[in-house]
Structure 1
Amino acid sequence: MSEVNNKTVQKIATREAYGKALAEFGAQYPNLVVLDADLANATKTNTFQKAFPERHIDCGIAECDMMGIAAGLSTVGKIPFASSFAMFAAGRAYEQVRNSIGYPHLNVKIGATHAGITVGEDGASHQCLEDIALMRVIPGMVVINPSDAVEARAAVQAAIEYVGPVYLRFGRAAVPVINDREDYKFEIGKGVLLREGTDVTIVATGICVSAALEAAEKLAEDGINAEVINIHTIKPLDEELIIKSAKKTGKVVTAEEHSIIGGLGGAVSEALSEKAPTPVCRIGMNDIFGESGSAGALVAKYGLDADGIYSKVKEFVK
């Protein structure tokens, strides 16, 4: 639990929600199978494993083989979720994801946990800051990066119902639950307007969404009216929503726990440069690797928290 504007906010890791969602939907979808690479306790697929042991496959420390097995299962009517750390799922197994899943456009879902610098003490070798870029460039791959536990659960269900390859990005650290409201709706390829504004648009994804909302509150105290958009689906990108907001505010800031190269910032910049040229400030990891440290300390150091986003937006606007 944490306090935001005197309101108690629950914190849950999106990987926790991922594991619970798989177990929940396992009963509804008998063709749902889950694969893991000797990391079921960390990825939280052990929740599904306990409920449906006969539909959980531990492939061992062999992520490339796991992707091939998932591809094969999809061709006989199964809906496989292949799970591992983002560094291994998107990085180590990239060739298999590209050639065995992406190229034949198979119905495989990749559940990548422990993404970004919030992996913390595991350090740069495990802090995958390139996975969104890698998955975005694969033709036909849907890329989803949920902002909280509510969105993570909804993303899993949407991925199950979608026919085709999907990359789902989850985090290790607990993050504020911001989507626990009755009117919340998740739709692949549709962003969510969380706050209307007139002076600047903040387009955020993943853990940076809650930070962007906090930053917007601080900016309001300085007389800067920021619009905040949650982009949970980076591919396909909701260009219509982003362009409409950019035309209204005239300035766009992107915020992500990922490299500013090839991720959300790249996707938004590409769309705007082609269809609505707008000044853009990209907040993220600036062509650098992470380092070992606590998740909170790293997020603050690299300016991905509310204070960091507030400072950069304020400087950009003025």
Structure 2
Amino acid sequence: MHTVAVTVADGMLHFELAVAFEVFGTPPTGMADPWYRLVGCGTGAVRAGRFRLEPDHGFDRLPSADTVIVPAWADIDADPPRDLVAAVRAAHRAGARVAALCTGAFVLAAAGLLDGRRATTHWAHTEALATRFPRVEVDPDVLYVDDGSVLTSAGKAAAMDLCLHLVRLDHGSAVANAVARRLVVPPHRAGGQAQFVTSPVPARDDHPLAELLPWAIERLDHPLTVADLARRAAMSPRNLGRHFRSATGTTPLQWLLTQRIRRAQELLETTGDSVEAIAAATGMGTGTTLRRHFNRTVGVPPDAYRRTFRTAPTLGPLGGER
């Protein structure tokens, strides 16, 4: 059973703590495979915002965990506790995957885990992170960064995105989507395993792309072009590109490719369709084209991806197993 250890210390923010416990603490309905063993690790009872939390173990438990989650750190101008920093460093050296939520990145940076790495944190604190830790390549414009064994997220809702990304890596997109449905949050974007960065989508109903994006997702089996999208949105291709860059951080064609790859992942996990059939259903044309883009984006060929995740349960619309 995969052990997820959440660090618990005075000065951590309760929202990110709650996100970690909510995502990793409760399996989706119908989950057949073992879920996570979730433990809280600290030096004693602590205050997180207005809540009191009693950890299960001390920081010495971190090096034996498979994944370590470091929630947001409230006082970014103060040095985090030395025992916390040392334990996080030791856990990483022991082979644990370490993820920081929001300003938890300051703890990882203090431990030296972000030196020479691309990382992010809440947009209001990216400049402070870059100034205090100049060896960190801080990216202020993304929701989260997956650098393999070290992951960092932006603030609040992006912490949920990163936690769901970890579930997707461990259990596949069907299970991660079931968790997202239970929590009534948008499902995660699919992406590369080596370095994954997801981009935001419009949250306002009055956004120029609010109707266009769902319309396009329902038609991924069509050979959509930028001109098609622009015509549907009643704007010029140039104006469309500007709105896409502002809302998603990428171009219309790259966004479409990401959605096609994500859909291909879901079909590989939940159906026995051939790669050729999945290529047609996702608008990729041929199996050769799908294999090329899938391998480049996800890091493994479609057949290898299917072998990895077909062992996960197939979940129905409400998270129940089909």
Of structures 1 and 2, the one with the larger relative CO (CA 8 A, separation 6+) is 1
Larger Rg: 2
TM range (shorter): 0.3 to 0.5
TM-score (norm 1): 0.35
Taking structure 2 as the reference length, what is the TM-score of the superposition?
Answer: 0.34
